Chain A
Amino acid sequence: MTGDAWWSATKKASLYLVLCIVTLTVCFPLIWALSTSLKPKSEIFATPPTLIPHSTTLENYEALLGGRQQYYQSGGASQAMGPTPAQFFTRWFVNSVIVTLGSTLISIVVSTLAAYSLTRFRYWGRSVIPYFSLLGYMMPSIIFVFPLFLMMVRLELTDNLLSLVFGYVCITLPFCMWLMWAFMRSIPIEIEEAALIDGASRYQVFAQVVLPTALPGIIAASIFSIIVSWNDYLFGRVFINSLDNLTLTVGVMLFFEGTHVDWGLLMAASVLMTVPMAILFMALQRHLVAGFGAGAVKG
């Protein structure tokens, strides 16, 4: 091997080493959570702690998905103490899915129609609305949450999943609008003109020409909207007050109430809450990066 080749191989190896160290450090909290969630009660508090469990168990996942009725004491004996958070886990999960998809659907439909209108028609205000949206997505939700809550009280929608759908629309619509606007602007208008000349109506053009072309933008906006809605704690905390109607984020924080924190159960809940986002992320990573490129991200 020549000196140069040896040198570049060493460089490559050290680069991989650095990458592995950085990646492992970054991912360690997640790996540790997964490991804890798979450990039996006796091993969770073992010293020295084990990264790869000696014996794995799915009991934490079974407790959450099967709705376990009892709290476990550290000795392994069980004792009834009123409703347990585990009982509600699947229900909260479904609630979270409903409000996330509901608000995303509204935001996407509204912003796609609006972005088309703003980039294809001329009327007063068309240049102001995108910047208004930009301002809207800088707004922290803490400013919206109480006025919206009082509005929901008047509409008698408190403790109703619909209130959360509306609340999430308020935080997801501005950046969906901004992203769709940026995306629609980049779609050349000539294809539509050709279709119009061929005798297609505006609606046919929109449905058959514009929507398919805008699909990557729609996917990117949907991912961001789903991430933001799934992540929300504040609106759920303020708008909802019955155990039945909570979302995952607020519900899972209730695991801390009571005398004894069941870390295995909590970590299993954390893993289950992250899995839908992980699947989405893996399937659509490319679009996520494209969305960042368009400058429409909330964080």
Chain B
Amino acid sequence: MSRFSFLSSDRAVGLLFIAPFVVTALVFMVYPIAEAIRMAFFNYNPLRPDLVSYAGMSNFEFIFSDPLFWSSFGQGTVWTLLSILFQTVFGVGIALLLHRKLFGMAIFRGMLLFPYIVPTVVIALIWRWIFNPEIGVVNYGLLSVGLIGEPIYWLSTPTMAMASTIMLNVWKYTPFVVICVLARLQSVPLELYDAAKVDGAGAFRRFLDVTLPQLREVLIVVIVFRTIWTFNKFEEIYLLTKGGPGTSTFNLAVYSFEQSMASLRLGVGAATGVVMMIMLMIGSVVYLRVAGFGNEEKEA
């Protein structure tokens, strides 16, 4: 076969175009994941790569008997649930506010979506500055209007550190919910509202009976996605509190990072990663079922 006919044969073109992806995906996605799973069954010290030994299930036994693993799991769950709750409530609220034809709306929309593109490092730095207990503007504001009697130690008490990381996460990712909900709102047929108005439904009833059912599907998808991502987030916590004070804001990603980086137990870190992957798979199955369910409804 001549070179020319090889290149112009359609099937060959197809394979030629997919080849870079297959190679890149095998090297930079499939291999690292396979390697992460393999590492979970080995003792692995990055400083002594010559001393790798098979560990069987001992890395998993280690994490399951480590109280810090379980508290990281618990804290991560609280962090995720509260973040998702506030993101959803604020996201729907802001989307409803923005879903109007008013002069200057593009500016409001732009400014309210902006946090999504601010780098996490920048948000963490700004948070550390405005939530600084002595010189931060948040404490100054709260003290001067008399809401609090003495400075709040935002980043150095366990509860407040958790609250601060949740605020950071909610601030950065609420725009995600806003955009998804806004896109859906634009396709809600206006006749539904007119019909409800004729029936004498007030604004609140119209929201409950018309808007909310229409948003159900998109909200489920958004919540599943955000839950999976939020549960595995690393930078949003680590950059603000390093998991502290103590270990009070550890989640599984921070736990895995600290095991690998500070304790040099790459195997233990990888085992934590495998546990995270299994939970992610469960989440994905939930997502696919939800998405599949949605499609059937649409076809019917």
Contact = CB atoms under 8 A, between A and B. Distances in A.
Interface of A: 12, 15-16, 18-19, 22-23, 26-27, 29-30, 32-33, 36, 45, 47-49, 106, 109-111, 113-114, 116-118, 120-123, 129, 132-136, 138-144, 146-151, 153, 166, 169-170, 173-174, 177, 201-203, 227, 230-231, 233-234, 238, 248-249, 252-253, 263, 266-267, 269-270, 273-274, 277-278, 280-282, 285, 288-289, 292-293, 297-299
B11 A170 contact: no
Contact of A202 (B10, B97, B233, B266): B10
B118 A18 contact: no
B179 A292 contact: yes
Given A113-B17, A289-B179, A292-B180, A173 B239 contact: no
Interface in B1-59: 8, 10-11, 13-18, 20-21, 24-25, 28-29, 31-33, 35-36, 39, 46, 49
**Mostly helix, strand, loop or mixed at chain B's interface?**
helix
A22 to B, nearest CB: 7
B261 to A, nearest CB: 7
A35 B105 CA distance: 25
B284 A141 contact: no
**Mostly helix, strand, loop or mixed at chain A's interface?**
helix
Contact of A201 (B8, B46, B110): B8
A280 B117 contact: yes
Interface of B: 8, 10-11, 13-18, 20-21, 24-25, 28-29, 31-33, 35-36, 39, 46, 49, 94, 97, 100, 102, 108, 110-123, 125-127, 129-130, 135, 137, 140, 144, 171-173, 176, 179-180, 183, 226, 228-229, 232-235, 238-239, 253, 256-257, 260-261, 266, 269-270, 273, 276-277, 280, 283-284
Contacts of A143: 32-33, 36, 273, 276-277
Nearest to B107: A23
Contact of A47 (B33, B112, B123, B140): B140
A146 B140 contact: no
B99 to A, nearest CB: 11
Given A48-B140, A144-B33, A169 B97 contact: no
Given A233-B239, A253-B121, A144 B36 contact: yes
B256 to A, nearest CB: 5
B32 A144 contact: yes
A138 B229 CA distance: 7
Given A111-B21, A169-B24, A231-B120, A23 B108 contact: yes
A161 B266 CA distance: 23
Contacts of B16: 117
Contacts of A269: 125
18 contacts: A27-B111, A29-B127, A33-B125, A109-B20, A113-B21, A114-B18, A129-B21, A141-B234, A142-B232, A147-B32, A231-B119, A231-B120, A231-B235, A249-B120, A267-B125, A281-B113, A281-B114, A299-B176
